[in-house]
Chain A
């Protein structure tokens, strides 16, 4: 589904990501773990084109981003990429001036030009799937944190992305809500979604991710099957991090 090769990202003179390589198979779940400042959120922002890469390449479902592209070609490909990638931000960024339904149909109606009736019907299905059908006509402000997050997820799903990116999805949830979210996520894979989840919470990823990637200082330290990374990591730094997190 997505291949990243030698990805380099700089901020001014500082190199933030030093040649990242990773590959995510279709309909699999990749968890990215690491301490704050390890570069995992930056990596995620590169994957949906919010950050322009300075070296290497990203290839996602036939769309290829390279560092050497001209500005206009890069932007064109980023727009193509975004049709395939859905993002749920840590701070969600729901549109406060629109109802829940409005948040969901905004992009399908204005970007994909889906007829409003059809977009609304789909939106109701998605809301039913995340258990928020009754909230369709409400405004995001009036919802709880967990409900808002499910709206954000439904909003991303409304564009039918193959790849879903999540940045710290459990940061604002209590353990019970986290467990519910994991159940919800498990349902996405059989429906054809591929997921990349950045999270602090190893326990959240443990029963969900097929593979884990441990980042430190802008580099991939460890990358492998979830079981292997958690129980018999090769690198002592991974071992330390996992031990502390548990």
Chain B
């Protein structure tokens, strides 16, 4: 009896807890945005790295308050933000997202909350560029964020452009003369470029567009609640206060907010945004071009790695004492730190001491230097696997150490090193994908951009994998053939002589 009662108490307590949980879960408004290089939208507070700040952060707080919900921020990645919303990691996107037609096929949008324009930025001493059209006629390269209104505009206009994962990298490359201009939404331009004495604005802001909140298709109740909340924070002036605080208030905002403040419903402003239509033929073409870059990167880096790996191996295992230390240091450094960090250092760190290389060259050299450390260990193992007697036999025949190495040791070591070298090469093929961080348009970058722009993750993923396999399989096959030829030469000789006998 007692146990029965306590059990029912336990049950009702559990039920109550469950209720409160669901109730509080309904109160949460999970919103996704990319905080890396995300100023002034949302970014890490430089004064307090545990906190996020930004005008959209403040706006979401106001929206959530209007909706009587608890905001919960989910950090995500800009380029895949639409796909991440679709798979349910958060409920809304508030990240300066433009309601383009292609995105509208994937997700739905709230009414707009901000009107943005594009601003072209150039170097202070730039004399050639006055408007964006100059970049087209002079064949100059313009940097921008991937998968934005700006990148779509540039692509449509046929202007050569490079996509960057964050605005900092784009403006830095502009300063370093790797590109000639940067086209970006005014809020970002204001925060990252306006105060930079090395840069200046080229022409007036142009190409209006709106930022809307992105929602999953079918979340109609949430969409309605969000739309009402936007109206509310516009009417009560809190959005205006926030935008003024962040220096983002301008005539365009007044125009957009006016009908809402006046109480006119259903009259939402919208602009013609460039949307990219996904075209398979074009996509395959771009992938093929990216594949070529990947192949060149992999081969070039491997050549550097092989040429540099051998002296490193010899220096480390046979060199005099003063040479062994630096060789070991080099190998441990390049093996022990991520290639990603090395590439970022080479790309952004070296210009500080006057060494300025293009992204592709940086990737080539960075991967080459990195893989040289690995190759050196393959060679060292191969060299040490050979019996000491091979050296002594060569010396006894009057060979110098160099001749003995070149004619006797190296060919034998090569045979031992070939399988692990092939292995490293295939692995290098895939590692070229880290060149993404320095905006090299190789296969993995192409996949990311095309897939994010189209949502065709599965089909494009299969296509890209096929490209990688098309490149690495013949390579592996070739290496196996070479191994077999080296190994079977003897066997072949035997059978031939037996036939002859």
Task: Point out residues on A near B: beta carbons under 8 Å.
Answer: 48-50, 79, 82-83, 85-87, 89, 91-97, 99, 106-107, 110-112, 134-135, 137-139, 141-142, 155-156, 159
| Chain A residue nearest in CB terms to B390 | A93
For B398, the chain A residues whose CB sits under 8 A away are: 79, 82-83, 107, 111-112, 159
Is B385 close to A, CB under 8 A? no
Is B13 interfacial (CB 8 A cutoff)?
A: no
Shortest C-beta distance, A86 to chain B (Å), equals 7
Which chain A positions have C-beta within 8 A of B387?
Answer: 91, 93
Q: Say yes or no: A111 contacts B397, CB within 8 Å.
A: yes
Output the nearest chain B residue to A111 by Cβ-Cβ distance: B398
Are B399 and A110 neighbours in the complex by a CB distance under 8 Å?
Answer: yes
Q: Cα distance A82–B396 when bound, in Å? A: 6
Q: Are A95 and B493 in contact (CB under 8 A)?
A: no
Give the dominant DSSP class at A's interface: loop
Q: Determine the chain A residues whose CB is within 8 A of the CB of B394 once the complex forms.
A: 95
Chain B minimum-CB-distance residue to A84 = B398
Which residues of chain A come closer than 8 Å to B396, judged between CB atoms?
Answer: 48, 50, 82, 85-87, 89, 156
Give A142's nearest chain B residue, CB to CB.
B494
CA distance A97 to B407 in the complex (A): 10
Tell me, rounded to whole Å, the shortest Cβ–Cβ distance linking A61 to chain B.
14
Q: Which of B368-413 contact A (CB under 8 A)?
A: 387, 389-390, 392-400, 403, 407-408, 411-412
Does any Cβ of A come within 8 Å of B337's Cβ?
no
Specify which chain A residues have a CB less than 8 angstroms from the CB of B497 in the assembled complex.
134-135, 137-138, 142
Query: Which residue numbers of B lie inside 8 Å of A, CB to CB?
Result: 387, 389-390, 392-400, 403, 407-408, 411-412, 415, 489-491, 493-494, 497
Pull 22 A–B residue pairs with CB atoms less than 8 Å apart, ordered by A. Answer: A50-B392, A82-B396, A82-B397, A82-B398, A87-B393, A89-B393, A89-B396, A91-B387, A94-B393, A95-B408, A96-B412, A97-B411, A97-B412, A106-B397, A107-B398, A107-B399, A110-B407, A135-B497, A137-B493, A139-B493, A142-B493, A159-B398
Given A49-B395, A85-B396, list of 13 further CB < 8 A pairs? Answer: A50-B395, A50-B396, A82-B397, A87-B396, A89-B389, A93-B389, A93-B390, A97-B411, A106-B397, A107-B399, A110-B403, A156-B397, A159-B397
Closest to B498 in A: A142
Contact A138 B493 (CB under 8 A): yes
Which of A79, A97, A138 touches B415 (beta carbons < 8 Å)? A97
**How far apart sit A137 and B489, CA to CA, in the bound complex (Å)?**
11
**In contact, A142 and B490 (Cβ under 8 angstroms):** yes
Residues of B within 8 A of A89 (CB): 389, 392-393, 396
Note all chain B residues with C-beta closer than 8 A to A79. Answer: 398, 400
Q: Which of chain B's residues has its CB closest to A90's CB?
A: B389
With A and B bound together, what is the CA distance between A86 and B393 in angstroms?
Answer: 10
Task: State the CA gap A137–B415 with chains docked (Å).
Answer: 20
In the complex, the answer to whether A141 meets B490 with C-beta atoms within 8 Å is yes
For B493, the closest partner residue in chain A by CB is A138
Residues of the B chain whose Cβ atoms lie less than 8 Å from the Cβ of A142? 490-491, 493-494, 497
CA–CA, A155 and B493, complex, Å: 20
A63 to B491, CA, bound (A): 44
What are the 5 tightest A-B residue pairs by CB atom distance, in nearest-first order?
Answer: A107-B397, A93-B393, A139-B490, A93-B389, A87-B396
Smallest CB gap from B397: residue in A: A107
Bound together, the chains give a CA A217 to CA B412 distance in angstroms of: 38
B415: chain A residues at CB < 8 Å are: 97
Question: Contacts A79-B400, A82-B398, A96-B412; is A139 near B489 (CB within 8 Å)?
Answer: yes
Q: What distance in Å separates the Cβ of B72 from its nearest Cβ neighbour in chain A? A: 66
Task: Give every chain A residue within 8 A of B390 (Cβ-Cβ).
Answer: 93, 95
Q: How far is the CB of A156 from chain B (nearest CB, A)?
A: 8
Docked CA distance A142–B491 (Å): 7
Name A48's closest neighbour in chain B (CB-CB). Answer: B396
Residue on A nearest B415 in the bound complex, by CB: A97
Give the complex CA separation of A96 and B400 in angstroms. Answer: 19
- For A155, give the chain B residue with the smallest CB separation: B397
By a CB distance below 8 angstroms, the chain B residues around A159 are 397-398
Min distance, Cβ B383 to any Cβ of chain A, angstroms: 14
What residues on A are CB-neighbors of B493 within 8 Å?
Answer: 99, 137-139, 142
Q: How far is the CB of B423 from chain A (nearest CB, A)?
A: 22
A159 to B408, CA, bound (A): 17
| Measured CA separation A138–B495 after assembly (Å) | 10
- List the A side residues contacting B407 at CB < 8 Å: 106, 110
For residue B399, which residue of chain A has the nearest CB? A111
Bound together, the chains give a CA A50 to CA B396 distance in angstroms of: 8
Which B residues touch A48, using CB under 8 A? Answer: 396
> Closest residue of chain B to A96, judged by CB?
B412
